[in-house]
A and B are shown apart, each in its own frame.
Chain A
Amino acid sequence: MHYSRPNSVAEAVNLLGGNTGNAFILAGGSDLLVRMKGGFVEPSLIVDIKAIAELRQIRATDKGFWIGAAVTCAELGESEMLRAAWPGVVEAANLIGSKQVQGRCTIAGNLCNASPAADSVPALVAAGARVHIVGPNGSRVTAVEDVPLSPGKTSLAPGEMVAAIELDERPAHASDAYIRFIPRTEMDIAVASAGINLTLDADGTIKTARVALGAVAPTVLRVDEAAEALVGTKLETAALERLAETCSAAARPIDDKRGTIAYRKSVVGVLAKRTAELAYKRARANS
């Protein structure tokens, strides 16, 4: 096994491109090292991206925010501008593992690990975040929901890596939220989760909505019917019920040791309601 710690994106891309075996990017390592220790993967090359200065930054751009792939979840939580603009994304990232895990882990790693239960991913999908990908054939930009294909599998081509995740500017009367259900209070994996982003009129009518669910399908689920159920409402009871119904109906979970199909379908609707209420409250407060 070869370990390298490049100082630039170009160098990283070079290393990945030149490798013919089993190359892995190492960000926080909170998935990769666990899988290596468990004997599930045996990398021939590890490219550690934490020494690439450019990838360690959170920047405000003219369109919004640029989050380098090596920025830790703890650093997201410390960024006041991100907390103000995208509280749902930040709260999702700050639910991952524990304080110790958050000191290492990244949202890019969370996305590229391609777990259906990844916490930051529904929040990023609801936020309409874009992923900057670099590779041997240059760079491209794609939607977050286009990255995970199935549990453990991404749409990244060999030699490609995520350089950054980009979020829009936050307009007035808009906000987001993320809530997951776990049997404990921390150190657990979502049984079901919901991320919701809302934009309102000045009078509180929902103009646009994005709803994404986690842990209830092989990949994150964007539920447009659920979003439509919210648009034009002020989140009255009927709208909330409709939201819960559409989310429960859209969910395609499995029965496993973490929860039954019936339980997940039921709870994901409850979570969607609670998430919508929180996002709505935040959006109203953001004038």
Chain B
Amino acid sequence: MNINAKTQIQEFRSVGTRPVRQDGVDKVTGRARYGADYNMPGQLVGLVLRSPHAHARIKSIDTSAAEALKGVKAVITAADLPDHADGDEGLLEILDNCMARTKARYDGHAVAAVAAIDEATARKALGLIRVDYEVLPHVTDVDEALKSTANVVHEHATSRVDPEQNVPLNVHATEEFGHGDIEAGFAKSDLIVERSFKAEQSHQGYIEPHACVASVNADGTGDLWVTTQGHFSYRIVCAQLLGMDVSKLRVTSSEIGGGFGGKTHVWAEPVALALSRKAGRPVKLTMSREEVFRSTGPTSPASIDVKIGVSNEGVITSAYAHLRYGCGPYSGVWGMLGAMTAFACYDIENVKTIGIDVRINRPKTAAYRAPSAPVAAFAVESVLDEIAQKLDMDPLELRFRNAVKNGSRSSYGPTFGTIGLVEVLEAVKSHPQLNVPLAANQGRGIACGYWFNIGGQTCTTLNIGVDGTATLTIGTVDVGGSRSSMSLVAAEELGIDYDKVKTVIGDTATLGHNDTTEGSRGTFSSSMATINAVKQAIGVLRERAAKMWEIPVDDVVWEKGCARAVGEEHGNLPTLSLAEIAKEAPNTGGPIAGHSEIVAEGVGVSFGAHICDVEVDPETGATKILRYLVVQDAGRAIHPAYVEGQYQGGAVQGIGWALNEEYVYGADGRLQNAGFLDYRIPVCSDLPMIDTVIVEVPNPGHPYGVRGVGETPIVPPLAAVANAISRATGVRMTHVPMSPPRVLAALENAKVT
């Protein structure tokens, strides 16, 4: 590890250190409670019946035999989840996805559910439910779905077709971005490279399956214990779907065993609540791994065309991308995100991107870490690599010549403020990995990546304990160590030690609304609110000290965790520690706290660049990752070890996708590899240690300079690995994952042609 701090204006005492993680002991001793580790008295077991068909009309469902089975306490179908959406199409789609209403739209779509006294009974009951399906034609491939002969995935699609524009049937949305005149730009260029790419669908692959315990009472109140990235938004959506008052549903987020975007959407939770409501007892619902793969939201499969024109000096004169993303049967924003991020790393005079969401009979697409950006980068960075080869130019130099800088107009509209791509490229340039010689069948790939990051609604509360320690309650679920980072921030502001601050995640009844932990917003937003809350508490502490000293509050300052009196009159008073002030709280005005409720603004975007060295076995097509480097701008690393963890984790997920991870559908539209045996995420022995460099170009919009860091790390790997393999083999790779059979076929193909 290596921190390359561009500007160290601020001096920090806690921020930037690497203390032990506060939730670590519970996790390594197995005491941490995840989604499935919670139980309630009288709890039932919930199980879901799922469609074996990719597309089918549900003619009827006979649940009578299941209901008659001893031990079964409730059986539900869509009829038990009436439409409370009140015309909100988005909400109705969520409801339809949780429990198919008229049609099963993908293999694994829920059609009914049971709650019984134990799993064996529940399983038996599922087998007794009779569903009469009329199987309909389906389409699972993005490009197939766009053909005029394609089967229609969703009736909404047909209603949206504008006959005059001749829009293909399964297009949900088309978004366009860019500026300048791309045709004029191409006319000016000395070299044009144009290629098409395909990316198979991948799943986040979190180790913890979805799990919850739901309890709905006859008085309309309820509790939900659940593994989620956003308990506040789960509360809103679940309450709306069930027709409950939002405030009467209390949602507690458990520890989370990975989400990466997949736990930002509700899947089985409304079903568990509906089962509990009908049974009058708590219901625990835990998905199997197979259900996670078939019935939750992977990222989009995609198909992309890219055309880039450059001058002989390697300056991009024009760039165009047409990006088609599968969104499952429902609406999506994935084409838009791909179109926005595709060229975000480069300052281009003429640029145009078109992003399309395509409906297909696969599970609803969910967010997956910088959703849509990795495959867009795969296509764009691959074409740039080929351009570098054709110009006989160092691929890093090509990036330098086109990199966005402060004040560059982004390819999707806004003008960038203080950004760090050039600093990232400089750090790459001076890294020793670039000088490691390569042998036969080895190759080195470079790729850049971008993610926006977001802010949003956030609130935190800091309570000072009687002994002068502090409890910080935050509402953004901790997916990567953010509780410890928030303790560092609170310790920094208060001027006390890290181990005197304990951070917890509040449930929905404890804090005001917090947006979900997504968009790399957790540490950015919650640290901002934490700084505010601590500042407010310090105001109270100064007042209390003033009271104890009987001097004006203006003469009290807060320094190094103590109140200090200033001015000629009182300057000689000994300081009052936090503990001393806290002890006197009952006599000076009561409990001492600070809180903050904000919409976090001033988000800082994050750029990264990855270098991947591979060796390809030309006889089997197998790729071994020899070395891998992640360089990224963090703005400010609060806890550098967790920033590195994000860099490494994103890179590893990207490498897995680049090499092996893919959804395999049969001609029957059924998922063939719904398990970790044949959906191959990397194992430790597949990977070298992922090297990292944290670049710090502080974000002026945040008091400490923090940018989000969680998503950018998964953006470059597909391209970095593809470029490395392409250089190692001399054959350009255009289809991920680059599994051994696919690479060998590409090599054989190249021999023939």
Contacts and interface: CB of A to CB of B under 8 A. Distances in A.
A185 B678 contact: no
Contacts of A266: 744
B60 interface: no
A257 interface: yes
A31 to B, nearest CB: 13
A270 B680 contact: no
Contacts of B619: 267, 270
Nearest to B675: A38
Contacts of B683: 184-187
B677 A188 contact: yes
Specify the main secondary structure of chain B where it touches its partner.
Answer: loop
Nearest to A98: B683
A60 interface: no
Nearest to B659: A183
A258 interface: yes
A184 B680 contact: yes
A39 B124 CA distance: 11
B90 interface: no
A260 interface: yes
B7 interface: no
Interface string B59-100: 000000000000000000000000000000000000000000
Contact of A258 (B678, B685, B745): B678
A259 B672 contact: no
Nearest to A256: B672
B288 to A, nearest CB: 9
B682 A257 contact: no
Tier of interface size on chain A: 20 to 34
B620 A259 contact: no
Contacts of B532: none
A264 to B, nearest CB: 9
Which bracket fits the contact residues of B? 20 to 34
A184 B678 contact: no
A257 B189 CA distance: 43
Contacts of B741: 259-260, 263
A181 B673 CA distance: 19
Given A260-B741, A263-B745, A183 B673 contact: no
A189 interface: yes
Interface in B695-743: 739-741
Interface in B670-693: 672-673, 677-678, 680, 682-683, 685-686
A184 B686 contact: yes
A181 B686 contact: no
Interface in A245-287: 256-260, 262-263, 266-267, 270
B739 A183 contact: yes
Interface in B287-305: none
A181 B622 contact: yes
Nearest to B672: A257
A257 B622 contact: no
Contacts of A185: 683, 685-686
Interface in B646-673: 659-660, 664, 672-673
B343 to A, nearest CB: 33
A191 B678 CA distance: 11
Contact of B685 (A186, A189, A191, A270): A186
A184 B677 CA distance: 10
A183 B739 CA distance: 7
A262 B677 CA distance: 22
A158 B359 CA distance: 52
A257 B660 contact: no
A39 B122 CA distance: 14
Contact of B660 (A184, A189, A259, A262): A184
B677 A267 contact: no
Contacts of B660: 183-184
A259 B745 CA distance: 11
Given A257-B664, A259-B741, A181 B682 contact: no
A103 to B, nearest CB: 17
A184 B620 contact: no
A258 B741 CA distance: 9
Interface string B613-635: 00000011110000000000000
13 contacts: A183-B739, A183-B740, A184-B660, A184-B682, A184-B683, A184-B686, A185-B683, A189-B677, A256-B672, A257-B672, A260-B741, A263-B621, A267-B619
Interface of A: 39, 181, 183-189, 191, 256-260, 262-263, 266-267, 270
Please give me the 4 A-B residue pairs with the lowest Cβ-Cβ distance, nearest first: A263-B741, A185-B685, A270-B619, A257-B664
Interface of B: 123, 619-622, 659-660, 664, 672-673, 677-678, 680, 682-683, 685-686, 739-741, 744-745
Given A181-B740, A257-B672, A263-B745, 9 more contacts: A39-B123, A181-B620, A181-B622, A183-B740, A184-B680, A186-B685, A258-B678, A260-B745, A263-B744
